[in-house]
Amino acid sequence: MTGPREDTSHRHTSHWGAFTPRVEGGDVTAVRPSPFDPAPSPLLGNLVGSLRHPLRIPQPMVREGWLRDGPGPAPLRGEEPFVPVGWDEVVDRLAGELRRVYTDRGPEAVFGGSYGWSSAGRFHHAQGQVHRFLNTLGGYVASENTYSAGTSEVLLPHVLGAGPQILRTLTSWPVLEEHTELMVCVGGVPTKNMAVAPGGVTAHTSEGHLAAMAARGIELVLVGPDRRDLPSSSAWLPVRPGTDAAFLLALCHVLVTEGLHDEGFLRTHCVGGDRVLDHLLGRTDGLPKTPRWAAELCGIDPGAITALARRMASRRTMITLTFSVQRAEFGEQPVWAGVLLAALLGQIGLPGGGFGHGYGSIGDNGHPAHTRVLPTLPQGHNPVRARIPVARIADMLLHPGEEYAYNGERRRYPDVELVYWCGGNPFHHHQDLARLRAAWRRVPTVVVHEPYWTPAARHADIVLPATVTLERDDIGASRTDPVLTAMHAAAPPYEQAQDDYTIFAAVADLLGTDKDYTEGRSAAEWLRHLYEGWRADGAGRPDFDTFWADGHARTTPPPPGVLLSGFRRDPVGRPLATPSGRIELASTVVTSFGYDDCPGHPTWLAPVEWHGSERAARYPLVLLANNPAARLHSQLDFGEHSRGSKVAGREPVRIHPDDAARRGLGGGDLVRVFSDRGACLGGVVVDGDLSPGVVQMSTGAWFSPVPGVEPVLCAAGNVNVLTRDVGSSRLAQGCTGSRALVEIERWHGPAPEVDVAAPPETVGRTRHQG
C-alpha cells in the first residue's frame, strides 16, 4: 500500500512545520501542510499574505539623524523618520562605519546580536551569517546561553555535568508511554509550545504521545496556576507562582521523614546528600521544609503534598519542569530541587522515571537527537573573549566597564560602539522595554537586517531589507527530525530586498575580506557544498541533485533513549562531568562562589515580586508572561492567525472570574495592565482555568509605545513593558521575564493607535532614488 504523495515543487519548511505554499501574484495565498504531519501547526496560517505585506521594507533605509549627524547616542532613536537610500550608498556607508569602529576601537566594541529563530534553513541562517561575517573582520562581543533556558544552562553543569546536552537528550516519549506510571509536571506540559522546534518539524507527534499517556491511564499531575498548561491532567495543584521550589522541597521532606527515599542511590550516585537532608529537616536553619510550611507559601492543602509524595514513591515517576519555572528570580532553585526529588526517589536513569526538564517547552524535546552534525555554515574563529549572558544586554549598554558576577567569575561589561543585529527582535525577548530602549539609544550605531518593520528595525540607524525564507533556496534540518528538506524558493525577492549572504558579501568586498567570507562560492554553491559534506558523513544518502529534485532526504532516526541510563548502570565507568563524577545535590563549587542569591544546594528564596511582598499591596495580581500560541515569539504578529487571537485589537489578557468581577471587567473589555515599569493595553478574556490572583498575557505583540506617554504605554500589548530586567541570580544571570506583579483597570476614552501596524515615516529622497 502506498502512502500519501506530495508536490515537492515549492516544498518548504519552517520552525513550525513543513508545508507547500500556493503563490499567486508574488504572494502566498494558501498553505498546505505536509501530508505526513499528523498534527500540522495552525501557525502556518500566518504565512498567507506575508510576502507582499505593507510592513515589508522595500529598500535600504537610514535614520534621518544618523544620516545627517553621523554616529552617536540618539535620544530619538525609534521615533525619527527614515531616509530611503540606494544599495551602493548604504553598503559604502556601512563599510566605512565598520572600518572606523574596528580601526579606532577594535572588535571588542562590536556586539554581534542574533537569536537564531529567523529561518529553519541551514545556510540562510541569520545568526550564522552575521557571526561568520564579523569573525572575518576580527571578531565581536558575543552573547551566551538563551532567554528560554539560560538559568538551567548554567546551573545543570554543576549538578548533572551538562547543560544544553541534558535539555536535548530527555527520556523519549515512547519510553514514557510504556513505562511511566506517574508524571508530575511542574509548570505543566504546554501543548501550544509543541508546534515549534528549531530547524523545523515534519511530523508533530509530541502532543499525540501526551494524549496517549492520558488515554492509558497514566497519572498526569499539573503543578502550576494555569490549567491550560496540561489540559489532560489527572490532578491539578495550583501552586502560587514563585513557590515551586518550596513545593518540591516539601515533597522531599515527606520522602525523607517517612523513610521512602532511596538511600542506596544517594550513596552510590550522588554527593551532598547529608547537607541537603540537614536543610530539609531544618537542622541548619531551624525551619523544617514540611508540607505545612510549603502549603502556606504555595496556597494548597498540605495533605495534597503528603499524598502526592507517597504516590511518587510507590510508582515509576517522572518529575518534569518546564523552562518557564527557571525564567524567574532565583529560577535555579526549582530546577535543582527537581533533581533532588528525582534523586531521592532513586529513579534517575530508569525507563519512564527520574528527571526531565523542558517537555512541552519546545516541540522536539522528548525526541532523540542525531549524533551526526547537520549541514552547517562554518562561523570561523572569534578571538574576542568578552561576552555577556544573553539577558544582560541592557546592562551592557547602560553600564560599560561595570563589573558583574557570573558563574564564579568577575566580568566587566564591554564598551560597545556598534550593534549589528541580524535575525531576532530584542524588543520581544528582553524585559523592561523602557529600560532597553534607553540603553539602545546610547549606542552610536545600530545596524539591522530585517524583512519587516519590526520594533528592532524601527530602533535602528541602518536598516537593510532582507529576504524572507520563501524567497531563498535553502536546506531545512532539525536536530531531532529524520528528514532534510529542500527549501525551494517560491517567489522573487520583494522590491530591493537581498539575502543576508549577498549583503555581507558586498560589504566584505569593500573591506577586503570577501575571500574569507565567501570562500569564492555563491549561495547555490554553498548549499551543494554543505549538503555533500553532510552526505559524506553517512552511507546511503542521495547526492545533492537527487535530494533537490526529490525535495527531501531521509535519515535513520535515533532510537528512543533514557536520560542518564548509562550513568545509572555504571556511575564509576560512565561518570558525569561534575567535579565528583556524580549528581551534586549540594555543590562545593557553587558554595565557594558565596552567592546569597544562589546557595550551594536547593532552597526556597522569596522573590522580590510575589504575592507576599510589600509591592503586592499596589500590584496584587501575579502576571504569567509566557510564549504565545498564535505565533512563534513575535514573528508575523501581523499574520492572519495571530490577528485572529487578538481581543479588542490587542493582546488578550486572561483573568479569573472573581478577579474580573472585583474590577468590574467583562470579556472583550479594553484594559490597562500596569506595573512599576510601565503599562500596556490588552483585551480581557475571563477564564476559570486560571488560579485567582493570577493573570496570563503572552509575549510577542510588537512593541508600540504611545508617543509622549511616560512611563511607557504599549498600545499593542507587549507584556515585556511590565517585566523586570534583572538576572535570575549571580550564578546564571538568566532571564526573569516569566512573572511580574501587576494591576488591571478598565481603559477609558479613545484607544491609542497601534503605530507598528503601518510603516514608519520616511522623508527626504524619493523611494528607490540612488
180 and 125 in a common domain: no
For residues 572 and 269, give the distance between their C-alpha atoms in angstroms, rounded to a whole number: 9
Lowest mean pLDDT, pick from 189-203, 239-253, 288-302, 738-752: 189-203
How many residues appear in the chain?
770
Tell me which residue has cell 555504571.
570
Residue 272 and residue 585 in contact, taking contact as beta carbons nearer than 8 Å: yes
216 and 111 in a common domain: no
pLDDT for 8: 47
Residue 513: inside a domain: yes
pLDDT for 766: 54
413 and 301 in a common domain: no
> Total structural domains in the chain?
3
> Please, which residues have CB within 8 angstroms of residue 35's CB and are 6 or more apart in sequence?
4, 5, 6
Percent of the chain with pLDDT over 90: 89
More confident site: 71 or 538: 71
For residues 715 and 753, give the distance between their C-alpha atoms in angstroms, rounded to a whole number: 7
C-beta contacts of 228-231 below 8 A and 24+ residues apart: 228/188, 228/190, 228/689, 229/185, 229/187, 229/188, 229/189, 229/190, 229/322, 229/360, 230/185, 230/188, 230/189, 230/190, 230/360, 231/191
Residue 12: inside a domain: no
Give me the phi and psi of 677, to 5 degrees please. -95, -25
Residue 456 and residue 427 in contact, taking contact as beta carbons nearer than 8 Å: yes
Across the range 149-172, mean pLDDT stands at 92
Whether residue 2 has pLDDT greater than 50:
no
For residues 157 and 164, give the distance between their C-alpha atoms in angstroms, rounded to a whole number: 9
Of 15, 14, 13, nearest to 627 by C-alpha is 15
Per DSSP (E only), the strands in 369-476 are 387-389, 403-406, 409-412, 418-422, 445-450, 462-465, 474-476
For residues 161 and 157, give the distance between their C-alpha atoms in angstroms, rounded to a whole number: 4
Element (H, E) at 94: helix 87-104
Of 391, 349, 410, 372, nearest to 166 by C-alpha is 349
pLDDT digits (tens, 9 = 90+) for 87-108: 999 999 999 999 999 999 999 9
pLDDT for 9: 56
The pLDDT confidence band at residue 485, using thresholds 50, 70 and 90, is very high
Whether residue 232 has pLDDT greater than 90:
no
Other beta carbons less than 10 A from residue 231's beta carbon:
16
Q: What is the CATH number of the domain that holds 662?
A: 2.40.40.20
Across the range 361-388, mean pLDDT stands at 90
For residues 327 and 728, give the distance between their C-alpha atoms in angstroms, rounded to a whole number: 7
Query: Domain boundary residue among 329, 345, 367?
Result: 367
pLDDT for 415: 98
The DSSP output letter for 237 is: E
117 and 175 in a common domain: no
183 and 294 in a common domain: yes
More confident site: 168 or 53: 53
Q: Which residues span the domain enclosing 633?
A: 614-757
Whether residue 542 has pLDDT greater than 70:
yes
pLDDT for 1: 31
427 and 357 in a common domain: no
For residues 755 and 631, give the distance between their C-alpha atoms in angstroms, rounded to a whole number: 20
pLDDT digits (tens, 9 = 90+) for 502-529: 999 999 999 999 999 999 999 999 999 9
Residue 121: inside a domain: yes
Q: What is the CATH number of the domain that holds 524?
A: 3.40.50.740
pLDDT for 201: 83
Whether residue 459 has pLDDT greater than 50:
yes
SS (H, E, C) 675-708: CCCCEEEEEEEECCCECCCEEEECCCCCCCECCC
Determine the longest span between alpha carbons in the chain, in angstroms.
79
Residue 157: inside a domain: no
532 and 657 in a common domain: no
And the C-alpha cell for 655?
483573568
For residues 276 and 118, give the distance between their C-alpha atoms in angstroms, rounded to a whole number: 43
Residue 619 and residue 675 in contact, taking contact as beta carbons nearer than 8 Å: yes
Query: Domain boundary residue among 532, 554, 576?
Result: 554
And the C-alpha cell for 359?
517537555
Whether residue 768 has pLDDT greater than 50:
no
And the C-alpha cell for 392?
544582560
Other beta carbons less than 10 A from residue 313's beta carbon:
21
And the C-alpha cell for 138?
576580527
pLDDT for 597: 98
The pLDDT confidence band at residue 19, using thresholds 50, 70 and 90, is very high
List helix spans (H) across 225-290.
244-257, 263-269, 273-280
> Please, which residues have CB within 8 angstroms of residue 364's CB and are 6 or more apart in sequence?
197, 198, 201, 206, 478, 479, 480, 481
Residue 41: inside a domain: no
648 and 523 in a common domain: no
For residues 343 and 347, give the distance between their C-alpha atoms in angstroms, rounded to a whole number: 7
> Please, which residues have CB within 8 angstroms of residue 459's CB and are 6 or more apart in sequence?
77, 78, 427, 437, 440, 446
pLDDT digits (tens, 9 = 90+) for 565-595: 999 999 999 999 999 999 999 999 999 999 9
Residue 331 and residue 736 in contact, taking contact as beta carbons nearer than 8 Å: yes
The pLDDT confidence band at residue 465, using thresholds 50, 70 and 90, is very high
And the C-alpha cell for 318?
517522572
Q: Tell me whether residue 373 is exposed, middle or buried, using C-beta atoms within 10 angstroms of its C-beta: 0 to 12, 13 to 18, 19 or more.
A: exposed
333 and 220 in a common domain: yes
> Please, which residues have CB within 8 angstroms of residue 65's CB and are 6 or more apart in sequence?
74, 76, 77, 80
The pLDDT confidence band at residue 177, using thresholds 50, 70 and 90, is very high
Residue 269: inside a domain: yes
Q: At what angle do helices 302-314 and 291-298 cross, to 10 degrees?
A: 120
448 and 363 in a common domain: no
Q: What is the CATH number of the domain that holds 261?
A: 3.40.228.10
The pLDDT confidence band at residue 397, using thresholds 50, 70 and 90, is very high
For residues 548 and 472, give the distance between their C-alpha atoms in angstroms, rounded to a whole number: 14
For residues 607 and 736, give the distance between their C-alpha atoms in angstroms, rounded to a whole number: 11
Which residues are part of the catalytic machinery? Answer: 115, 117
Of 372, 370, 351, nearest to 172 by C-alpha is 351
List helix spans (H) across 77-140.
87-104, 126-137
411 and 315 in a common domain: no
What order do you get walking across the sheet with 219-223 strand by strand?
235-237, 219-223, 182-186, 317-321, 354-357
For residues 394 and 14, give the distance between their C-alpha atoms in angstroms, rounded to a whole number: 30
> Please, which residues have CB within 8 angstroms of residue 260's CB and are 6 or more apart in sequence?
254, 309, 310, 313
Q: Within 13 Å and on the Cβ side, how many CA atoms surround 206?
A: 29
And the C-alpha cell for 745?
483597570
> Helix or strand or coil: residue 421?
strand
The pLDDT confidence band at residue 6, using thresholds 50, 70 and 90, is very low
Task: Quote the radius of gyration of the chain (alpha carbons, Å).
Answer: 26
Query: Domain boundary residue among 554, 571, 595?
Result: 554
pLDDT for 112: 97
For residues 460 and 518, give the distance between their C-alpha atoms in angstroms, rounded to a whole number: 26
pLDDT for 424: 87
Across the range 1-11, mean pLDDT stands at 49
Pairing of strands 219-223, 235-237: parallel
For residues 59 and 495, give the distance between their C-alpha atoms in angstroms, rounded to a whole number: 7
Q: Taking phi first (over 0 means left), then psi (-120 to 50 degrees means alpha), and beta for anything else, what does residue 188 get? A: left
Residue 508 and residue 133 in contact, taking contact as beta carbons nearer than 8 Å: yes
For residues 199 and 375, give the distance between their C-alpha atoms in angstroms, rounded to a whole number: 11
Residue 323 and residue 188 in contact, taking contact as beta carbons nearer than 8 Å: no
285 and 228 in a common domain: yes
Lowest mean pLDDT, pick from 49-58, 317-326, 529-538, 569-578: 529-538
Residue 156: inside a domain: no
Q: Which residues of 712-722 are buried (b: 16+ CB within 10 A; e: fewer)?
A: bbbbbbbbbbb
The pLDDT confidence band at residue 10, using thresholds 50, 70 and 90, is confident
> Helix or strand or coil: residue 37?
coil
And the C-alpha cell for 505?
558579501
Residue 592: inside a domain: no
